[in-house]
């Protein structure tokens, strides 16, 4: 057995890994196929690869990366539009660092910055509000990309701008919701999985009850997990137990931070400033009510309404990020992976995002040669 990871308690982790492998092999023999589970959190994608858990379980459990990286699931038209926002001398564009090197059809935010555009990395949307306050002669636009984990913070930025009456601040929001995309993946039935490793961060906001539909509508088990090796192995073991016993449930394996009903304060913030909208996902297309847009009451902070941004059809490439987001391909099945597409010269967002499946595979699981 390979032991790449260095958990706090290696003896526990190794023993648990051995139990997972034994139970996975029993399931494989019993059902005639290797058990397959999908993680829908970019932090899980990176943690499973970085800690060696994915490598250790290779050949026993098929761990499939799904639509969990917020940068990766943002469709190319939105990426191109956000880069276009930065093309004006009268604007300052603020973003999380993940977005800087995501390739657009013409260029990235980083290349726009290199050529003189004012693009700034911030650690919080609230920093963008402060920048707007300090630069009243410029329009400051924050690029709001993220899942339910990020939306309350986006709401807090709008709340602050409204409270301070800062009208040169706005937000280009392309947020995504977990429940609609899981329902879509299971409804189209293209990817074959036996359960979900459910996101730890998003679940803090949503709570474990939010996944009840997986059982009621699809009889699909799910386990909410943390990000340490023992936590992820424990979650995978519980998924295997449910598969073995034919007893699907939603298990909260991250009770130290995830409550049954989630974070009510965060949910209230989301509902105050945002409302459901249709969103287009890379590799999937439009999903009804799968995103959140800024409410009409706060439309003066909506950059999509404030600026007239026109873009053409995105440039087509052989990049298979869309297939990987849907769990239909692995990074090494993309002809560009590790050749035309590398972290230094990314073709798709999955290679450049710190939570992307290609970035994780390239850094920790790539076959040399």
The per-residue pLDDT of the chain, averaged, comes to 94
Asked if the model's pLDDT at residue 5 lies above 70, the reply is: no
Three-state DSSP at 10 gives helix
* pLDDT higher than 80, residue 9: no
Contact indicator for 145, 96 with CB cutoff of 8 Å: yes
Contact 273, 298 (CB under 8 A): yes
All residues at 6 or more sequence positions from 234 whose CB lies less than 8 Å from its CB, including other chains: 16, 225, 253
DSSP string of 204-247? Answer: HHH-GGGGHHHHHHH---EEE--SSHHHHHHHHHHHHHHHHHT-
Banded model confidence at residue 369, pLDDT cuts 50, 70, 90: low
For the chain, give the number of residues. Answer: 369
| pLDDT the model gives residue 1 | 42
Q: What is the pLDDT of residue 20?
A: 98
Region of 252 please: left (phi>0), alpha (psi -120 to 50) or beta. beta
CA–CA separation, 14 and 237 (whole Å) = 13
Contacts of 26 (CB under 8 A, 6+ apart): 244
Which pLDDT does position 276 carry in this prediction? 97
Tens of pLDDT, residue by residue over 277-290, are 999 999 999 999 99
Higher local confidence (pLDDT), 12 or 135: 135
Contact 291, 144 (CB under 8 A): no
Residue 360's pLDDT is what?
95
Distance separating alpha carbons of residues 256 and 237, to the nearest angstrom: 19
How far is the C-alpha of 322 from the C-alpha of 283, rounded, in Å?
A: 4
Query: What is the pLDDT at residue 7?
Result: 65
The predicted model scores a pTM of: 0.93
65-87 burial by CB neighbour count: b if 16+ within 10 A, else e?
Answer: bbbbbbbbbbbbbbbbbbbbbbe
Task: Label residue 312 by pLDDT band (50, 70, 90).
Answer: confident
Judged by DSSP in three states, 92 sits in strand
List, for residues 190-245, the tens digit of each pLDDT value: 899 999 999 999 999 999 999 999 999 999 999 999 999 999 999 999 999 999 99
Q: Which two tokens stand for residue 310?
A: 């026109």
């Amino acid at each position: 057995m390979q032991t790449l990871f260095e958990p706090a308690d290696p003896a526990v982790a190794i023993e648990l890994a051995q139990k997972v492998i034994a139970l996975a092999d029993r399931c494989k023999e019993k059902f005639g196929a290797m058990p397959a589970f999908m993680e829908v959190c970019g932090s899980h994608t990176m943690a499973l690869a970085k800690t060696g858990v994915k490598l250790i379980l290779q050949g026993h459990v098929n761990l499939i990366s799904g639509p969990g990286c917020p940068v990766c699931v943002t469709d190319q038209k939105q990426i191109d539009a956000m880069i276009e926002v930065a093309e004006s001398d009268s604007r300052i564009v603020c973003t999380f660092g993940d977005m800087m090197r995501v390739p657009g059809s013409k260029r990235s935010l980083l290349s726009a910055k290199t050529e003189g555009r004012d693009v700034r990395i911030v650690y919080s949307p609230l920093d963008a509000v402060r920048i707007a306050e300090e630069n009243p002669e410029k329009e400051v636009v924050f690029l709001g990309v993220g899942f339910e984990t990020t939306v309350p913070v986006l709401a807090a930025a709008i709340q602050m701008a409204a409270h301070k009456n800062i009208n040169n601040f706005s937000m280009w929001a392309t947020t995504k919701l977990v429940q609609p995309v899981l329902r879509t993946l299971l409804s189209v039935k293209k990817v074959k999985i036996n359960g979900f490793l459910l996101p730890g961060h998003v679940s803090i906001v949503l709570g474990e009850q939010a996944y009840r539909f997986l059982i009621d509508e699809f009889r699909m088990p799910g386990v909410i997990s943390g990000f340490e090796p023992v936590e992820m192995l424990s979650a995978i073991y519980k998924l295997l137990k449910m598969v073995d016993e034919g007893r699907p449930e939603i298990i909260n394996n991250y009770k130290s931070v995830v409550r049954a009903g989630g974070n009510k304060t965060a949910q209230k913030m989301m509902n105050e400033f945002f409302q459901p909208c249709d969103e287009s996902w890379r590799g999937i297309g439009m999903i009804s009510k799968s995103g959140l847009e800024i409410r009409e009451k706060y439309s003066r902070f909506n950059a999509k309404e404030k600026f007239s941004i026109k873009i053409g059809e995105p440039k087509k490439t052989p990049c298979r990020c869309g297939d990987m987001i849907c769990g239909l391909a692995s990074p090494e099945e993309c002809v560009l992976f590790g050749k035309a597409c590398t972290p230094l010269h990314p073709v798709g967002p999955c290679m450049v995002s710190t939570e992307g499946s290609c970035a994780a595979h390239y850094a920790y699981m790539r076959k040399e040669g």
